[in-house]
Structure 1
Amino acid sequence: MAANQDSSYDVDKIQVLEDIDAVRKRPGMYIGSTGPDGLLQMIYEVVDNSVDEALAGFCTTIEIVIHEDKRITVRDDGRGIPVGIHPEAGVSTVELVLTTLHAGGKFDEGGYKVSGGLHGVGVSAVNALSEHFVVEVRWRDGKVYRQEFCRGRKTTELEVVGESNETGTTITFLPDREIFDEIHYNFSKLSHRLQELAYLNAGLTIQFDNRLTGVKRAFHAEGGIAAFVQELATGKEPLHEGPIYLAESRGSQSVEVAMLFTDAMEEEVFTFANNINTREGGTHLTGFRAALTKVLNDYAREKRILRQEDEALPGEAIREGLVAIVSVKLQQPEFEGQTKAKLGSPGIRAFVEEVVREQLGQYLAKNPSVGRAIIENSLSAHRARLAAAKARKLVRRKEALFGGGLPGKLADCTSGSPEESELFIVEGDSAGGSAKQGRDRNFQAILPLRGKVLNVEKARLGKLLDNQELRAIITALGTGIRDQFNLDGLRYHKVIIMADADVDGSHIRTLLLTFFFRNLRPLIERGHVYIAKAPLYLAQRGQVRRYLYSDEELEAYQAEEDGKYIVRRFKGLGEMNPEELWETTMNPETRILRQVTIRDALEADEVFTTLMGTDVPRRRDFIRENAHRVVALDI
């Protein structure tokens, strides 16, 4: 049994608001989609209930199992769903919670003071969308209760099936194949979220047993978000030893801040509200930034680093190289929009600002060397913005980026309008030659690359700029990189990566995407980066030619053809003549392009670190868990 048991969470804390008849008719309204993201959302809804128990101080361990038959089990050691008869509904509270929308303990302050899933539809929607759903409750009376459901309707009554000296809830469900065409879980995204929850709830243990792939993981972070920041700063040079950690709880609201200043050029600040990743920031981020700017400017004046009263360091310069997590927990948070991507609660800004101002000021008073290091780095960044000649790093970078004209290997287009222009980054000189001959030179530019580019995940900025291939890309684009990035300088509306449709081509695409994500992220965020899909086969019967893009397409073609035909396999883009390359991969009327997007910067950061970093066991587990997606991967 978890510590701090509180009998106030009982049947009278559950409120009934409306029915769930619409869930099966419109599942997308409740879980987002009926694809892979919707399947993950079903898991998140159940896990979040267990995390809410941890937030309330009654749960220390959560176990998630993916069974061989694709059932999901989530087990916690919280208080357990109340089993008594609800006074308003006249049915057991377990049944009420699992079959009625907006029935839960999150609407009553005595149930949960803080919760991420405030709408109360989660677990009941999961039940409605499961062909089999089983709940077991280990209750405070020492008994174990069990009930089964099918598509949201009970198939058994709540009954006692055993005894236990522990408390908690175990839920097992199988997503309904009438709703979901295919049941394929995105294991990397699920692992990322579980690790994120462990970081955000210090001391909570989350055990993940993926029996489909044989991979087991345990997520536990005694260091909480400080350990999170340390992980995010991997590969960067810190300006001080260990993250700065600030925390305060007052009544039903709390704030935690962990930050580490580094010599990197980019700012990485991620915010959360009740464990929800607020990707677009909000009032808590505004309060944090305001306090950070004020405290460090006041400190710089106090130490006479800034000598004029009206002189001030801008927030952008102060936050250069900053890696930080801001996590707030509050009652009834207000989010802007359905996605909960931005926190709108007005009161939390002043609270965060006050805590950061007071505690960071105290920290700097006790650690003057840290304060001086941060201020000096900020001053350097500020001066570099005002006059790049005064900052050696930025001068070297600018000379590397903007020295000289366009790269000699670039075959530019004749159009002077970036809105009409495309840049193809092509693997190999032979493929580049075919692309140059096959292109429409009015609006298509070709930049061939020789071999595999540098893995920037393992390289510092200086080595990156010494790499001839990457420097050619930077120069051709015209935007600069990192904090020197300026979208106004972009010379092409579409930047298209064109590589072979084999393993080596996939590796080159990954290397290039790593480079873009780490150094030119706004290009991806603004929708300028694409991947061209090249064919694997050319099937020909008489004069009829058909390009096939996968082994599955070839098998389907062979099954439907009853006459004589020949099949040619392309070993690479270099084997295609200019006409074939134009027809399949470059012609806007017939080509297949996939736009590269970023839905979650933190998740993308973790994936690139896993794939391109130095942790071999972590990369091996990632490949084992995601190998099934390679065949179906549509890029």
Structure 2
Amino acid sequence: LDMQFEAIAKRLRELAYLNRGVTFSLHDGRDSAKREKEYCFAGGISDFVRYMNGDKTPLYNEPIHLSGERDGIEIDIAMQHNDGYSESIFSYVNNIPTTEGGTHETGFKAALTKVLNDYCRKEDILKDKDPSLSGEDFREGLTAIISLKMRSIQFEGQTKTRLGNTEARPAVEYVVTEKLTPFLEDLKNAEVASKITDKAVKAAKVRETARKAKTMAREKSKLENAPLVGKLSSCTGRNPQQNELFLVEGDSAGGSAKQGRDRRSQAILPLRGKPLNVEKKRLDQVIANEEFRSIITAVGTGIGEDFDLGSLRYNKIIILSDADQDGAHIRAILLTFFFRYMKELITDGHVYIGLPPLYKVQKGKDVIYAYDDAELSVATRKIGKGYTLQRYKGLGEMNPEQLWETTMNPENRSLIRVSIDDAAEVEHLVTILMGDKVAPRKEYISEYANFNKADTFEEKADAQRGGMSIG
């Protein structure tokens, strides 16, 4: 049994946040380098929110803490807005993560929207003629932790991580309403209330701009019309369960992919250049971006609150980029987009990363493709001396037949399905790696990057100079 120290440590830290004041200790005595970690948080889930917002810029200093009991359900909620544009809500029941949400999250969102709209009406922030603000407006930049303790839990969903108990929603609605209303009306919290409502009003204006942009995009961007004409090469199959969409870096690679694909089930959408980093952009800016608009139109589900998994046109969405730094950056940007605006595509298992080979080892008519350095070592030993070795620097270096055989053929290809094992940790890492603050990113890279990794290709080249050519 492989017990991973860091994975266990992350879970214990999470439990320490969820159980205020309880100390969790971890001791690893399996080898000479003994490791120990201890976690205890006096602030409980408020400290959890501080941690999640640690690399963001909070709008107000202290998280808002709401707790209470209703119908035998203990409810503990902490929340704090930041100056970002994405909502980050993490929920738990009896310390179990409910990554797919459920009735407790629904109750929280409904009560939050009603209480804040009522406050805006009472304070004349919204006039009688003004429409109410949406829940999406009030949750822009919100980080929240919801923790319930209850009996007889009912889990639903494909992965059994969505709370199904109907009694949880009214219980959460009651506690949020009873606790948040007096908090907002307390004069000492007037500045906090003002910052929350000001951000929501601005978000509503941006949302309206984005709505108009989406309406325009829908009207002019049917699959057979702009902006996809000349871009998306559709497949002929009409069964979404069998169809795949490849998001391919660059026109040259996109051209090879179009020629080498199985036209019955594989659609190709080439991406020109690097898309926007959505972590630093407002929704209207994302919608206005041509590359993302093309992806949204091709996928068919819509985004944000308009997202509808039932309208998904492709069972697999495969990111195909070069095996270099630029390719890795493009993958990170696209995954950030899906995480922020189409998260259910990831949680439902529809997003994949295609793995093109790094090396081609050939001796006469014998060809072996290697996808990493370990496979290269095996391939060179297997094929024997006198081989030629080609290192692929980009997808564009492969002809259509090679791209099909190595990267697109379901019989031979290697894919990584993107998943979210720890939603809170993913949120934290996305903020560090894709956010505005440079210092946390430098610190993370300094700690985890391996700058001394040997270049296996050059080692092989030096060792076999007499009998091979390098392409």
TM range (shorter): 0.7 to 0.9
1:524-551 deviations in Å (ceiling 9; x for gaps): 2333322222122223343233322222
Structure 1 position 596 matched with structure 2 position 422: no
Structure 1 position 621 matched with structure 2 position 447: yes
Q: What's the counterpart of residue 197 of structure 1?
A: 15
Q: What's the counterpart of residue 278 of structure 2?
A: 456
SS at match of 1:413: coil
Q: What's the counterpart of residue 212 of structure 2?
A: 395
Q: What's the counterpart of residue 63 of structure 2?
A: 243
Q: What's the counterpart of residue 575 of structure 1?
A: 397
- What CA distance in whole angstroms lies between the structure 2 residues aligned with 1:435 and 1:354? 55
Deviation at 1:215, TM superposition (A): 9.6
1:483-528 deviations in Å (ceiling 9; x for gaps): 3434465444432111233454334322321222122222223333
Deviation at 1:430, TM superposition (A): 2.7
CA spacing shift, 1:416–1:554, aligned 2, 3 Å: closer
- What CA distance in whole angstroms lies between the structure 2 residues aligned with 1:602 and 1:501? 28
- What CA distance in whole angstroms lies between the structure 2 residues aligned with 1:393 and 1:212? 57
Tell whether the 8 Å contact from 1:409 to 1:448 is kept in structure 2 after alignment: no
SS at match of 1:611: helix
**1:596 alignment partner AA:** V
Q: What's the counterpart of residue 444 of structure 1?
A: 266
Of the three residues 147, 162, 179, the one matched with 1:359 is 179
CA RMSD of aligned residues (A): 4.5
- What CA distance in whole angstroms lies between the structure 2 residues aligned with 1:500 and 1:199? 40
SS at match of 1:457: helix
Structure 1 position 506 matched with structure 2 position 328: yes
Of the three residues 233, 244, 247, the one matched with 1:412 is 233
1:37-63 deviations in Å (ceiling 9; x for gaps): xxxxxxxxxxxxxxxxxxxxxxxxxxx
Tell whether the 8 Å contact from 1:266 to 1:483 is kept in structure 2 after alignment: no
- What CA distance in whole angstroms lies between the structure 1 residues aligned with 2:36 and 2:331? 29
- Return 5+ residue gaps in structure 2 as ranges: 454-471
SS at match of 1:246: strand
**1:410 alignment partner AA:** K
CA spacing shift, 1:541–1:395, aligned 2, 3 Å: same
Q: What's the counterpart of residue 271 of structure 1?
A: 91
Structure 1 position 554 matched with structure 2 position 376: yes
1:395-445 deviations in Å (ceiling 9; x for gaps): 356557876512465141252736254322222333223223323344433
The within-5 A match list for 1:108-257 is 180=1, 183=2, 185=4, 187=6, 189-203=7-21, 221-233=41-53, 242-248=62-68, 254-257=74-77
- What CA distance in whole angstroms lies between the structure 2 residues aligned with 1:373 and 1:402? 36
Q: What's the counterpart of residue 534 of structure 1?
A: 356
Q: What's the counterpart of residue 260 of structure 1?
A: 80
The within-5 A match list for 1:333-344 is 334=153, 336=155, 341-342=161-162
Deviation at 1:273, TM superposition (A): 3.1
Query: How many residues are paired up?
Result: 436
SS at match of 2:419: coil
Tell whether the 8 Å contact from 1:401 to 1:471 is kept in structure 2 after alignment: no
CA spacing shift, 1:607–1:192, aligned 2, 3 Å: farther
**1:395 alignment partner AA:** K
Q: What's the counterpart of residue 458 of structure 2?
A: none
**1:323 alignment partner AA:** T
Tell whether the 8 Å contact from 1:478 to 1:489 is kept in structure 2 after alignment: yes
Deviation at 1:260, TM superposition (A): 3.0
**1:618 alignment partner AA:** Y
- What CA distance in whole angstroms lies between the structure 2 residues aligned with 1:193 and 1:436? 44
Q: What's the counterpart of residue 143 of structure 2?
A: 323
The within-5 A match list for 1:304-315 is none
Deviation at 1:291, TM superposition (A): 4.4
**1:423 alignment partner AA:** L
Q: What's the counterpart of residue 40 of structure 1?
A: none
Tell whether the 8 Å contact from 2:301 to 2:308 is kept in structure 1 after alignment: yes
Q: What's the counterpart of residue 460 of structure 2?
A: none
CA spacing shift, 1:562–1:346, aligned 2, 3 Å: closer
Tell whether the 8 Å contact from 1:297 to 1:313 is kept in structure 2 after alignment: yes
Deviation at 1:471, TM superposition (A): 4.3
Q: What's the counterpart of residue 127 of structure 1?
A: none
- What CA distance in whole angstroms lies between the structure 1 residues aligned with 2:373 and 2:125? 65
**1:604 alignment partner AA:** V
- What is the TM-score with the length of structure 1 in the denominator? 0.56
Deviation at 1:245, TM superposition (A): 1.3
- What CA distance in whole angstroms lies between the structure 1 residues aligned with 2:273 and 2:373? 26
- Bigger radius of gyration: 1
SS at match of 2:412: coil
- What CA distance in whole angstroms lies between the structure 2 residues aligned with 1:352 and 1:432? 49
SS at match of 2:80: strand
- Return 5+ residue gaps in structure 1 as ranges: 1-179, 628-635
SS at match of 1:603: helix
The higher-RCO structure (CA 8 Å, 6+ apart) is: 2
